[in-house]
Amino acid sequence: MTDRTERRLAQAFLVAVMLVAIGWGYVILTTAPTSYRITEDMVDRAFIEKYTVGFEKYRDYILGHEDGEPKTPKWAEEITTVPAETIITLAREYALSKPAALIAGWGPARAARGEQYSRAANVLTAITGNIGIDGGYASGFMRAYSSRETASGTHGSRNPVEKDAPPRKNSLYKLRGGTNPNSARIHSAKVYDAILRGRAGGYPTDLKMAYVVASNHLNQHPNVRRGVEAFKALEFVVVHEQFMTPTAKFGDIVLPVNTFMERNDIAPPWLGSPYYIYLNKAVDSLFESKSDLDIVRELSKKLGLPPGLGAMKEEDILRTIAGRRDDISDYEQMKRDGVVKIKLSELVVSFKEQVENPDSNPFPTLSGKIEIYCEHLAEMDNPLLPPIPKYLTHSESYDSPLAAKYPLQLLTTHYKTRAHSTWHNVPWLQEIEPHSVWINPVDAENAASKTEFGYMYLMTGGKYAFRPKSPSASCRAWSTSARVHGTIRMNKG
């Protein structure tokens, strides 16, 4: 296989139409079809009137009554490069198919203003009446039956720092179960900024220490350069690890934690499905490594704190957790078989109860309905959190000065040779798929394509090399039409 072979051959595709937009355009691809459906009266008005609130305000925004810019397929084409006719065709197909599942993946949401994409996708499912029905889809967390959320009987201790702290102004604190509403907490994407700026920057405290467990933070969170500055600024860093990761290199103390092969455990699938896996350890903990629990128990003794989960042994803890779950009936059989499959009496359809009996089963919102317009968000009066889904530009948008200087947008994706950063150090996997930058041939033909991270050079034989600014980094380049013009891809981890 040559460097110019289309890299999409490494994956299997089963699609009738594949849309490829520039990286910031997916919120538009969930907005423009709504414009077409509204103007063509291809919405489920009965569903909208019975189960939603705020459609009129969203309609006014879509049709341009609010800002003078109708969000038409033609408008979308100019920004995303996806032809307007393609958008119209798919808009009709989705509107006329019932049921239809709009499975909105998470990739487009993991970008600046990405939450607007997820919200706009949910509006599409609502105005076509595809929520709460078999074969439809509520474009949310992609979780139906969740073995992860079954009560385990274990509870974390309260953080005394959070006592009496007011809710964050930018959180849905009025909702029961709202995400991290406490103002004493710091969003994970802002941790580096909080370390470097502290109280002077509006954060609740001046951070002096980091205790890192089950995380390669520098590898997995945005703005690595600022992360390096932040870790250097800390007075003390402790890391639990098996490998000398980029994060572990900043540890003043690195505690050797054992692997999942050296301890017993019960593992529900991450996204939640009707089964559990029992992890029977293969070997005892090697050398001086310990489990995370044993490490914190040893530290608790030295700090004069009660041990986590009392003095229970590993086996007793797992047996207690299993005994408190309704969907694990036989712990010993689970240990023997290594898995428990949960038999469901019927298919799980999210929000089925809300649609079939809304009076007894309101949606988990303040209004009890699907909030296309959210009054709770309106009260925040924050232009970055509008009460309806909107297309919001940002400092790295296609029309920003930064984009003119650095025309290639870097996308980092999950990939088959590693899980996040795990397995990247396995030589066999590196041999199967060397770490590469993927670039469109049009961009690659520029012999010195400049990005914020380095330069792409045309080498002999039609091959390309990527020279990062960092002298310690190394990478090769694939020229492939599987990458949309204007973007480059480098797999995360």
Q: How far apart are CA 128 and CA 46, in angstroms?
A: 10
Q: How far apart are CA 410 and CA 487, in angstroms?
A: 6
Say what the pLDDT of residue 139 is: 76
Is residue 281 within 8 Å of 253, Cβ to Cβ? no
Strand partners, 290: 257
**Cα-flanking dihedrals φ and ψ of residue 126, to 5°?**
-75, -45
Among 134, 99, 125, residue whose Cα is nearest residue 352: 134
Say what the pLDDT of residue 436 is: 77
Say what the pLDDT of residue 337 is: 95
Q: Is 45 helix (H, G, I), strand (E, B) or coil?
A: helix
Tens digits of residue pLDDT in 393-412 = 888 887 788 878 777 777 88
Is residue 222 within 8 Å of 243, Cβ to Cβ? no
Looking at 205-266, list the stretches that DSSP marks H as alpha helix, in order from N- to C-terminal side.
Answer: 217-220, 224-233
What is the Cα 356 distance to its own chain's centre?
A: 31
DSSP at 314? H
Q: What angle do CA 418, 448, 488 make, to 5 degrees?
A: 30
Say what the pLDDT of residue 129 is: 96
Strands 236-241 and 209-212: parallel
Residue 458: HSE in the Cβ half-sphere, 13 Å Cα cutoff:
10
Enumerate residue ranges in the chain where pLDDT < 50: 1-15, 447-465, 467, 469, 471-473
List of domains in the chain: 23-143+349-380 (3.40.228.10), 401-491 (2.40.40.20)
**Cα-flanking dihedrals φ and ψ of residue 263, to 5°?**
-150, 155
Is residue 100 within 8 Å of 130, Cβ to Cβ? yes
* Other residues' Cβ atoms within 10 Å of the Cβ of residue 192: 23
Say what the pLDDT of residue 110 is: 83
Say what the pLDDT of residue 12 is: 45
Its pTM stands at 0.84
